[in-house]
Amino acid sequence: MLDIKFIRENIELVKETCKNKNISLDIDRLLVVDEEKRKLQVEIDNIRAKRNELNDGMKKSRTEKMISETKELKDKLGVLEEEFEVLGKEYIELMYLVPNIVSDKTPIGKSDEENVVIKTWGKLPKFDFKPKDHITLGKNLDLIDLEKGTKVHGFRGYYLKNEAAMLEMALMMYALNKLIKKGFTPLITPTLVKEFSLYGTGFFPALKDEIFKIQDKSPENKDDNMYLAGTSEVAILSYFSDETLEKKDLPVKVCAFSPCFRSEVGSYGKDTKGLYRIHEFMKVEQIILCENDAKKSEIYFAEMLGIVEEILQELGLPYRVLNICTGDIGAGKYYMNDVEVYMPSRENYGETHSCSNLTDWQTRRLNIRYKDNDGDRKPCFALNNTVIASPRILIPLLENFQLADGSIKIPKVLWPYMNGTKIISLKNAKTNKKFKLF
């Protein structure tokens, strides 16, 4: 969330941000509630002071008048505190909806059609045969079973089999090892999270329909709503909630592996075939917490994006980087780049990575602060980035590296994680008994 003082001093900027991000929010109502709440707080504080003064006086002598005044103050205080609670609830609900302002480098636009390509890398594949899509390749090579996935999971269900299962785990370990070497602390995070984590990271209330809610019957958590997180970003940032870090310990660099779950409610009818848009997937995420400094955060943003580009270049996958416009950037994001990898079956690029700078929008909600050199406490800046997400990344891997005989080359950087497998062939699919289920 934004600092209310900043909102008061930049009313038109905040309203313009709401407009550019396609967010309908009554900022004027927020300011009225804020003013009423502040006035009410002063009145409550004054009554409490008077009551305390009377209570101190009654320790020496008690009169009927003093007792009567104390009761009147108590009754009035009860009414005002009830009003304050109602106002406070409305205030926090409105504050949770206020979007972050955007960087001067963020293009103004209404939808993803106005995102701007700022970089491309790699040569698009040229096949001297008719290339197959990942669904056909997966079926021919016994790598993907969508039918059984639908049978067991339902719509958008899938099984990864044989070399595809190995390939997914190879990608995860390859990405984790790279991040560890670059100074990121690895975590395996909880997938089930409490409601405060989703409000704190900004997924609630706006994206509540995208999150799976779990009916938790365990006695330990009977009073808490539990949810399946769509990214380990939620658990990583919540790990630091209500903490004050030391400036000397910044930046904090963390990466995490986790299963992820998304309802995809907002994508009904889109990408219904194959592995592009599914309900559950594996992901390696990276987070940086740094000083409250826009210029420094831009340096860390470039570092995070650079790691993704390094990974894709080592995998040999052609990609492009997009500067995301205001209408597609999301409420909490200050600056955002998506990375899209070329997918031959789509004859186009598909999103595989997303790098975001949220400044202090999340850390204010989660109360993550640090002490500066003067001892003052300031909210940290938070940045996040998808390092690798599978099975979506398998689409370009299978399709770009297919050969005329229907086999698939495995990128060299993944060989150490593939148990000696360097190529996925039809022969292996038919004869390699160690992978057979039956």
CA atoms within 13 Å, Cβ hemisphere of 285:
26
Give CA–CA dist 344/432, Å, rounded: 28
By three-state DSSP, how is residue 357 classified?
Answer: strand
Q: Which are the catalytic amino acids? A: 262, 277, 351, 354, 392
Greatest alpha-carbon pair distance for the chain in Å reads 102
Using DSSP's 3-state secondary structure scheme, residue 285 falls into: strand
Going 333 to 298 to 119 to 186, the CA torsion angle's sign is: negative
3-class secondary structure per residue, 111-155: CHHHCEEEEEECCCCCCCCCCCCHHHHHHHCCCEEHHHHHHHCCC
Residue 117's CB: how many other CB atoms inside 10 A? 11
In angstroms, the CA 310 to CA 43 distance is: 59
| 353: nearest Cα among 400, 425, 410, 284 | 284
The alpha carbons of the chain give a radius of gyration, in whole angstroms, of 27
| Cβ neighbours, 10 Å, residue 152 | 11
Contacts of 150 (CB under 8 A, 6+ apart): 157
3-class DSSP state for residue 273?
coil
Helix (H) or strand (E) holding 37: helix 27-58
**Structural contact between residues 325 and 114, judged by C-beta atoms closer than 8 angstroms:** yes
And the tokens for 233? 């970003």
Cis peptide before 251 (omega within 30 of 0): yes
Q: Which residues contact 237 (CB under 8 A, 6 or more apart)?
A: 197, 200, 201, 287, 362, 363, 366, 368, 382
Q: What is the DSSP letter of 99?
A: P
Q: Which helix (H) or strand (E) holds 195?
A: helix 195-201
- Within its chain, how far is the Cα of 407 from the centroid? 36
Question: What one-character DSSP code corresponds to residue 23?
Answer: -
Q: How far is CA 157 from CA 210, 278, 326, in A?
A: 17, 7, 33
